[in-house]
Amino acid sequence: MEKVALVIIDMVKDYFVEENGYPITPLARAIIPAINQSIAYFREKDLPIIFSTDAFNEDDFIFKSRMHPHALSGTAGAEVVEDLDMQAADLWLPKPRFSAFFGTGLEEILRAQEVSLIAVAGIATNFCVLTTALDAICHDFKAVILEDCTAAFSPEIHNQTLAAYRRNPLYPLFQIMTAVELQKMLQARSLPDYLLPA
C-alpha cells in the first residue's frame, strides 16, 4: 500500500482574524470541516499528519513587496488556528517561505517514514499549496491537491488554478482530487489484487 502523508498548509490564526481584512478568510474558514474530516481519516489509518505554516521575520525579504508583515515567527498569529483538530502527535513545521519543503526538513521526515505521496490541503491554492505540490514532485514524491480542502483568495482563482493542473503531463504523479476520491483510491490500493476492480 502506498504510504501517504497529509500536509496542511498555512492555516494560521492571522488569516482567520476578520479585522485583518484578508479576502481569503471566509473561504479558508469554509474548508475547515473538510480538512478535519481528512485529518480524522489519516489519524484512523495511522498515517502522518503534518502542519506546515508561515513563520516570517518582520524584516523578511518578501515584505519588500505589497505584502505587509504577518504570521511572524514566534507570535500567536503564526500558530495553527484552533478550529483544526491538531494533536500533540501531529508534526508542526513552521516554514520561512511558500513551500513546505523550503528550510523545514520535510523531505527527510517523509523519507524516514517511507512516505511516497503527499496530499496537500490548506491555503492558498495558487501559492503555497501549489508550490508545495510541485516541490513534492521535484523531490520525487507523488502529490495530490485536495480540491475541497484548499482555498484561494477567490473561488475563481481556486478553480482556475486547479483547472490548469487537472490534466497535466505529470499525471499520475500529480493529481487534483477530492478528499473522498483520495480515500477511495487508497482503499482500492490496499485491497488484495483479486479484490481490485477489473
Q: What does the angle CA 141 – CA 7 – CA 12 come to, to the nearest 5 degrees? A: 145
Would you state the pLDDT for residue 197?
44
Q: Quick check: 154 pLDDT over 70? A: yes
DSSP secondary structure letter of residue 102: T
Under the banding of pLDDT at 50, 70 and 90, the label for residue 100 is very high
- My answer on whether omega of the bond before 179 falls inside 30° of 0, hence cis, is no
Range of the domain at 177: 4-195
d(CA 70, CA 72): 5
What is the chain's Cα-based Rg?
A: 16
Q: Quick check: 92 pLDDT over 60? A: yes
pTM of the predicted model, to two decimals? Answer: 0.93
Q: Is the dihedral of CA 162, 46, 76, 29 positive or negative?
A: positive
Would you state the pLDDT for residue 190?
67
Q: How many domains does the chain have?
A: 1
Under the banding of pLDDT at 50, 70 and 90, the label for residue 198 is very low
Unique residue bearing C-alpha cell 482574524: 17
d(CA 101, CA 133): 9
138, three cell numbers: 521535484
- Over residues 164-181, the pLDDT tens digits come to 999 999 999 999 999 999
CATH of the domain at 149: 3.40.50.850
- Over residues 31-48, the pLDDT tens digits come to 999 999 999 999 999 999
Alpha-carbon dihedral angle through residues 93, 98, 102, 104, given to the nearest 10 degrees? -10
